[in-house]
Amino acid sequence: MEASKSLREHGLRIGELEPGPAGTIGDVAGVSVGHSTVSLTGVTAVLPGPADRLWAEPAAAGVAVLNGAGELTGSVQIAEWGLIETPVYLTATMSVGRVYDGAVAAAMAAEPLIGVEAVVIPVVGECDDSWLNDPREMPLQSEDVEKALADAAASSSVSQGAVGAGAGMVCFGWKGGIGSSSRLARGGHTVGVLVLANYGDGPDLRIDGVPVGREIRPAREHRDPAGSCIAVVATDAPLGSAQLTRVARRAGLGLARTGSVAHHGSGEIFVAFSTSARVPRGEPAPPALADSELDPIFLATVDATEEAVLNALWAAETTSGRDGRLFERLPHEPVLELLAHHGRLRD
Amino acid sequence: MEASKSLREHGLRIGELEPGPAGTIGDVAGVSVGHSTVSLTGVTAVLPGPADRLWAEPAAAGVAVLNGAGELTGSVQIAEWGLIETPVYLTATMSVGRVYDGAVAAAMAAEPLIGVEAVVIPVVGECDDSWLNDPREMPLQSEDVEKALADAAASSSVSQGAVGAGAGMVCFGWKGGIGSSSRLARGGHTVGVLVLANYGDGPDLRIDGVPVGREIRPAREHRDPAGSCIAVVATDAPLGSAQLTRVARRAGLGLARTGSVAHHGSGEIFVAFSTSARVPRGEPAPPALADSELDPIFLATVDATEEAVLNALWAAETTSGRDGRLFERLPHEPVLELLAHHGRLRD
Amino acid sequence: MEASKSLREHGLRIGELEPGPAGTIGDVAGVSVGHSTVSLTGVTAVLPGPADRLWAEPAAAGVAVLNGAGELTGSVQIAEWGLIETPVYLTATMSVGRVYDGAVAAAMAAEPLIGVEAVVIPVVGECDDSWLNDPREMPLQSEDVEKALADAAASSSVSQGAVGAGAGMVCFGWKGGIGSSSRLARGGHTVGVLVLANYGDGPDLRIDGVPVGREIRPAREHRDPAGSCIAVVATDAPLGSAQLTRVARRAGLGLARTGSVAHHGSGEIFVAFSTSARVPRGEPAPPALADSELDPIFLATVDATEEAVLNALWAAETTSGRDGRLFERLPHEPVLELLAHHGRLRD
Amino acid sequence: MEASKSLREHGLRIGELEPGPAGTIGDVAGVSVGHSTVSLTGVTAVLPGPADRLWAEPAAAGVAVLNGAGELTGSVQIAEWGLIETPVYLTATMSVGRVYDGAVAAAMAAEPLIGVEAVVIPVVGECDDSWLNDPREMPLQSEDVEKALADAAASSSVSQGAVGAGAGMVCFGWKGGIGSSSRLARGGHTVGVLVLANYGDGPDLRIDGVPVGREIRPAREHRDPAGSCIAVVATDAPLGSAQLTRVARRAGLGLARTGSVAHHGSGEIFVAFSTSARVPRGEPAPPALADSELDPIFLATVDATEEAVLNALWAAETTSGRDGRLFERLPHEPVLELLAHHGRLRD
């Protein structure tokens, strides 16, 4: 049993659908992900396509809120226009301003018409990493946005775990962070999900329905469930904004399967976009699928979200932070044994 | 092994919280439930308290929609005023008008000031029972509302399964219908849930995380997942309407655990009310809990919703209906064996 | 000065846009309106096209709520699916059930596949006519729906004032009811609005910005502003549901210009549909305008809504009802004099 | 006729209610406003009370969106929790990040528990001032937030016009900016409104219903109506978050009376808070008014919003900016003559 294998490589199957080749949001053609990690905090960028075309050809998008104790800038505009004009950025709560500022700078650098023909509102989501990271120190700078974008441009795969915005996150009492997964939906479209997982009350953790949280606990229990989870859903299915809003809402069902009850202090905010429904400024939205074809996308979204959270837990490393706090990574061997005991690991 | 035992009596435990004495929504003091069954359709009434006080002292309430392919009359007013002025009625889609009409008549009979000082908008939710019931026949009459209310007044327990509005419902390819459950939330409040369960794609069914739907299938598969699920959440916690809206939203997380992906054609609509937050007309809302005390209510709602669905499946009887269709009840013995095999039945 | 002239014929111009030939919602090709008036109450049907095609080819639609003390059945489904499958019906609050029931019957009569392939949720809005009509008497029957549909089929024009659902309505202390208007939007599309006007505090009434309510009062003041206003917006512009939701929201701005503050007890609920964006069941939505072309539609909607309310007031006749109550029609001559004094009547 | 007189001092009366002593949002006890102006852009802070108590005792709040082509950070959290934990900041679109960053720094400086017990999400709204200000230059720094707060602490009155966030704004083709007004609502509560007015198509401008925009035009017409208007509503009435959401929604009706149709490219976003409904962290919300007492607050909000916009136009000075553009202030004398001609100026 090697620690570097993924849960799927160990035989876990969340749902019946197959993932894409990489098993990450990067399986949606055109999507790239980059990180800048600064000490115990950071920024992550998820791009629907090349950054220099996003403002001229925004991507159809939708947003959904399961519990709104959080922030996703741009969400008001997404709700009205159904578009994103920048990458989706993720960071720590009190760094949203710096990332917004860096995102504006990056957008202006990529597109000379910004500020001339119209302005731009970037999309920046957050979770609170202050269990590990001291948020008063604020080491992240607006320039880290460019680093994350450069990383996205240079990376052919999606790094997961305690990286970028995920550096200081905590999930079900274990070290959390960035996780991703994908599914090949019936009908031929790909759905990818990336989560910033920073939520959950330890005993509630379920893995593929197995009550792992009841059986396996960290040495030092942490029972403050107020955290958040941002999910980014990408698809190559040509969907309109109302459809993508509905897709985004399904991310919450994937979280529920992992044990989320969407605590009062938590920000479960989800954004979905389509890489094939780009809407050049001033032009009509392109044709979209029939609503009756959404069910396969919904199922893929729920499954991929569930697995993305598990992947975040699986990829994260034990991390120590402020005030002598230490968050262990989910212990692989006992979990695999428990899953095997419940018949969940296929050969 | 007796068929008449509940899943809980067989040892299944959904979550760690205890249910109330009856294990139904009736555990919330003051709440009563009545049914009128007419052939393969019907009406179910859920009352927050005596019917003749509801208009004069509406109950604080909230509504949430996970997927809105359905109807809950009164939902616009609940969203604005945060109140329900009548019982919550459940019925078949095309009978909503008759139940609304009967509900108005019942409200006028109970309260002479209706139509004099103000009017009333009843709360009527629906699912589509037309897999079994021929909806063009419409045997249900508005007078059945009074029968359901009389049944509620006469009943000390909550009937479940293929009864009232649940008579013709289908769930994960099995016979569905009315199910209910309750939880004693940490902090001392009781949460009760009643569902009208008519949704789900068979292979997706999970029971306490065990993938029952992958293993056990009806003899004659039915793979049209377009159905609905209305959930009614009752609590004796003194909550305001914004809080109850948030509670209602959690019902969807309970459905997710059973395998719901909230299909395009489905109406997942949830209404929550408080029996201890009654708001006499023209008066201020009574004091409510702090938001920081909501997490135990959220957890209880998710757990009770999950179990309510399972109870609907467990209580329903095999039913034959239109066009020679037959929907089996979920087969108890194989399911219990599977649950036992996964270590889910406690002694 | 003849009483039978419209305000426009007297020279009033609301905004700069021209109305269509009839100056009603009927100017949107395909739209028809019918009424059944029963004593002091009634039902009004607004059809986007032939009734027998509506279920097979629903019309793209959106709904918006300014103040939700009211009911529009189907609104949950419109918010999710962006479609209407039946005419929009208007009636009195406590008659919604009967109209829903009649609407289901009418839909089944028109379309044999209803109840076989799927069910139908009709769209029924209401205002409270109980200042004039005794709502406990309930003379309206579900059969009146067929009468309203027959009237729609037979009528080449749109009757306004104290007719159909408008029979018992009150507006700014004067007799209210059904009003309609239309505009030719820049860009070539037509927008029509029909309102059921039953709202407003007398002194707040403004006509084209002239504070008529401060100057002209009914002999017997009526200062209970809790009423409602349903607006139905029709357009031949090919719009998607998200766009129509935004169009519907603009109806509230038209009401604001007449003096509405959307009182607590009022149901300002608006539904918009497109006659040229029909979506055959299971098929994708047709191409829509670019969002950047919406402004002319918005302006036309605001102007037409404002004028529709004025037309309701202008067309209504003095009406006496329950408990010796009498509501005068807005007195034409003093109003025209005041408008002329303020320079509002063009030659 | 002196230019320094307000419209009210010239005899204009918007509605029948009296304003408070200063006629600005500062009439709501505890509310203060400060600005930092940097060239043609800036930041404005609106405080519900002393900055160092806001995080420990957030103010009940609600948010409403009429058209969402804009940003108000914190709006997701306000919608969920019904609270604001920081002042409301206003700035230019692309400066939101810097103001957010400065607001976090200011909050940490004022409250040592931020970052220790929990984090903070500031409330930052924006309009696009790029008709005058070159947004690519970004002279505003996060430190300007402290300057605006210091100005608020030092100011006993509310500066209006081309100041703070209003420095570069445009409204109905004239110079726009910050405007404010107040009303003494029936029932004894005060309502104050501050707007950042940057919207409107010139010919649509109405002043107290008089079609000023049809009659008086700037020398150089500017017909790009895509702008925004943020409104901040403050009241000393003890209201809960759901009530404040409803109050916020009424700001749009005030804008409608001035001629707004809420253009596609516009961000009409409104936030309302109560100075007397402070909610110490972890405690229940205090008692609130009955919903039936909201109508006077609604009326006061609509009237005050309308007048706040007019005050912004009246107070602004002719301003020249980028690319040789010049926006005149609304010409006082012709407007007063027109208003007098329509009988709108009382003695």
pLDDT tens readout for residues A82-112:
999 999 999 999 999 999 999 999 999 999 9
Which of these, B69, B48, B66, lies nearest to B57 by C-alpha position? B48
The reported pLDDT for the residue numbered B2 is: 41
Confidence of residue A158 (pLDDT cuts 50, 70, 90): very high
Res. A211: pLDDT tops 70: yes
Confidence of residue D139 (pLDDT cuts 50, 70, 90): very high
Q: How many angstroms separate the CA atoms of C83 and D233, rounded?
A: 35
From residue C9, how far is each of A159, C19, C332, C345, D132 by CA, in Å? 70, 12, 13, 9, 44
H or E stretch at A62: strand A59-68
Residue at C79 is within a domain: yes
Confidence of residue C220 (pLDDT cuts 50, 70, 90): confident
Q: How many angstroms separate the CA atoms of A289 and A301, rounded?
A: 16
Q: Tokens 């197995």, residue? A: A210
State whether D209 and C214 contact (CB < 8 Å).
no
Residue at D3 is within a domain: no
In terms of CA atoms, which chain B residue is nearest residue A259?
B257
pLDDT one-digit tens code per residue, B257-281: 999 999 999 999 999 999 999 999 9
Q: What pairing do the DSSP bridges indicate for beta strands D123-127 and D88-92?
A: parallel
Q: What pairing do the DSSP bridges indicate for beta strands A123-127 and A88-92?
A: parallel
In terms of CA atoms, which chain A residue is nearest residue B342?
A342
Confidence of residue C1 (pLDDT cuts 50, 70, 90): very low
H or E stretch at A308: helix A295-315
**Exactly one of B142, B228, B260, B276 is catalytic; which is it?**
B228
Q: Does B135 touch chain C (CB under 8 A)?
A: yes
Active site residue D274: no
Average pLDDT over residues C294-315: 98
In terms of CA atoms, which chain B residue is nearest residue A225?
B295
**Residue A190 in contact with residue A25, Cβ under 8 Å?**
no
Residue at A346 is within a domain: no
From residue D199, how far is each of D14, D172, D252, D314 by CA, in Å? 20, 6, 12, 15
Q: Does C102 touch chain B (CB under 8 A)?
A: yes
- Where does D274-327 have alpha helices with state H? 295-315
State whether D287 and B282 contact (CB < 8 Å).
no
pLDDT one-digit tens code per residue, D286-343: 999 999 999 999 999 999 999 999 999 999 999 999 999 999 999 999 999 999 999 9
Residue at A3 is within a domain: no
Which residues make Cβ contacts (< 8 Å) with residue A177, sequence separation at least 6?
A: A160, A161, A162, A163, A165, A166, A167, A169, A171, A196, A197, A198, A312, A315, A316
What would the two tokens of residue B63 be?
Answer: 């509504």
The reported pLDDT for the residue numbered B322 is: 95
Residues 311-330 of chain A with CB under 8 A from chain C are none
Of residues A282, A287, A292, nearest to C290 (C-beta):
A282
The letter for the amino acid at D14 is I
Residue at C233 is within a domain: yes
The reported pLDDT for the residue numbered A222 is: 77
Of residues D242, D282, D287, nearest to B242 (C-beta):
D242
DSSP C179-223: EEEEEE-TTS-EEEEEEEEE---GGG--BTTB-HHHH---SS---
What would the two tokens of residue A172 be?
Answer: 């079900």
Query: In which domain, by residue range, is B209 found?
Result: 8-339
Confidence of residue C227 (pLDDT cuts 50, 70, 90): confident
Q: How many angstroms separate the CA atoms of B254 and B308, rounded?
A: 9
Touching chains, A (3+ CB pairs < 8 A)? B, C, D
ipTM score of complex: 0.97
Q: How many angstroms separate the CA atoms of D56 and B290, rounded?
A: 15
Of residues C203, C204, C295, nearest to D225 (C-beta):
C295
Average pLDDT over residues C127-150: 97
Q: How many angstroms separate the CA atoms of C30 and C47, rounded?
A: 8
Q: Most D CBs within 10 Å: which of C264, C266, C293, C345, as the mutation test of the D interface? A: C264
DSSP C11-59: TB-SSSSPP-SSSSGGGSTT-EEEEEEETTEEEEEEESS-GGGTTTSPE
How far does the CA of residue A243 sit from the closest CA of chain C (Å)?
A: 9
Q: What pairing do the DSSP bridges indicate for beta strands C326-327 and C319-320?
A: antiparallel
Residue A224's CATH number:
3.60.70.12
Confidence of residue D2 (pLDDT cuts 50, 70, 90): very low
Active site residue D143: no
Residue at A345 is within a domain: no
State whether D76 and A74 contact (CB < 8 Å).
no
Average pLDDT over residues B72-98: 98
**Exactly one of A181, A228, A241, A260 is catalytic; which is it?**
A228
Res. B77: pLDDT tops 70: yes
User: Domain tally for chain D?
Assistant: 1
State whether D343 and C342 contact (CB < 8 Å).
yes
DSSP B276-294: EEE--TTSPPPP---GGG-
pTM over 0.80: yes
The letter for the amino acid at D121 is I
Beta strands in C236-285 (DSSP E): 267-278
**Exactly one of D266, D274, D276, D307 is catalytic; which is it?**
D266
H or E stretch at D191: strand D190-198
How many distinct helices (H) and strands (E) make up chain C? 7, 15
The reported pLDDT for the residue numbered B1 is: 35
Residue at C330 is within a domain: yes
How much is the mean pLDDT over chain C?
A: 96
Residue at C347 is within a domain: no
Which residues make Cβ contacts (< 8 Å) with residue D278, sequence separation at least 6?
A: D49, D53, D57, D58, D59, D60, D286
In terms of CA atoms, which chain D residue is nearest residue C340?
D342
What would the two tokens of residue D327 be?
Answer: 């926006």
- What percentage of chain C's residues is helix, strand, coil (to nearest 5)? 30, 25, 45
Confidence of residue C222 (pLDDT cuts 50, 70, 90): confident
State whether A82 and C290 contact (CB < 8 Å).
no
Q: Of A93-97, A220-224, B264-268, B320-324, which range is least confident?
A: A220-224
Q: Label each residue of D80-140 as H, E or C.
A: HHCEECCCEEEEEHHHHHHHHHHHHHHHHHHCCCECCCECCCCEEEEECCCCCCCCCCCCC
The reported pLDDT for the residue numbered A224 is: 76
- Strand, helix or coil for residue C172: coil
Percent of chain B with pLDDT over 70: 99
State whether D282 and B288 contact (CB < 8 Å).
no
